[in-house]
Amino acid sequence: MADMFDHYLAFGDSMSIDEYAGPDLGAASLLYRNRSDFWPEFERLDLLSANPRCGFTRLACNGATLSGVWKQLTEAPRVQGRVLVTLTVGGNDILSGLGQTENPLGYACGNYFGCEPVQGFAQWHESWLRWLDEIEALYPDSLVVVGNIYDPTDGTGILQSGASLGKRHAGLEAMNDLLRRLTTQRGVLLADIHQHFQGRVADWVYREIEPTQRGSSEIRRVFWQAICG
C-alpha cells in the first residue's frame, strides 16, 4: 500500500515533529524518509523509497490542540492524487483542561499550550468529525491514519519530574477511548501508539511528555505498521 501515495500530509502536535528528536528524525519525517544512519532496520521502509515522486508536507507543530489542527488545515496544500494523512492530536487538549470544569491552566509540564477555550468531549468529538469531513472533501483519494496518545506516566499518573497529572490522567484514557470510537465510526485507521508505548516510556519519552529519538522512531513504526497492514 505504501507505494500508492503521491503526497504525505502530517497534521498534529509534537508527536509528529522534529524539534525534540532532531532534524529529519521526528516521526512524520522518518515515515516519509528513513534515516538509515540512525535506524538501519528501516532501510527502504519509508514512503519515499516506495515512491520517489511522493511529496511531503509536515504541518504538525509543537503544542497543537484540535483548534490548532484546524489552523493547519488552512495551510495545507491542495494536492492531487493518492494522499496519506496522519494525525496526532488530543494530548495537549487534555493537558490544557479539556472536559474539566475549572479554568484551563494555560501551562502544563513547563510547556505553553495557549489559552484556547476549554471544550467538552462532545464538542471535541463534533469538531474532529467536521475536520475529517474537510479532509475527505479536499483529498477525496486519501488514506487517513490517526495516532492515539501515549501515557507519559506509564499508568501511574505521575510524570518523570514527580509532578502529578491529577484529573488530566483520567482525561488521557477518555481521549484514547474517544479516538478509538471515532476511528471505528468513520472507518479510518488507528495507530495504537498508546499500547505500543506501555512499559517503555522511561526510554521513549523525555521532558515529561515529549518523544525521544527512539520514541519518535517508534511512533513512526506504529504508523508504518498501520499503513502496511
CATH number assigned to the domain comprising residue 72: 3.40.50.1110
Classify residue 118 by its DSSP letter. P
Gap between the Cα atoms of 73 and 131, Å rounded: 8
Count of structural domains within the chain: 1
pLDDT value at 22 more than 90: yes
The predicted structure's pLDDT at residue 4: 87
Per the model's pLDDT, the better-predicted residue between 194 and 3 turns out to be: 194
Average pLDDT over residues 85-104: 82
AA identity, residue 41: E
Average pLDDT over residues 52-63: 96
- pLDDT band per the 50, 70, 90 thresholds, residue 107: very low
- pLDDT band per the 50, 70, 90 thresholds, residue 117: low
The predicted structure's pLDDT at residue 109: 35
Full domain range(s) for residue 29? 2-228
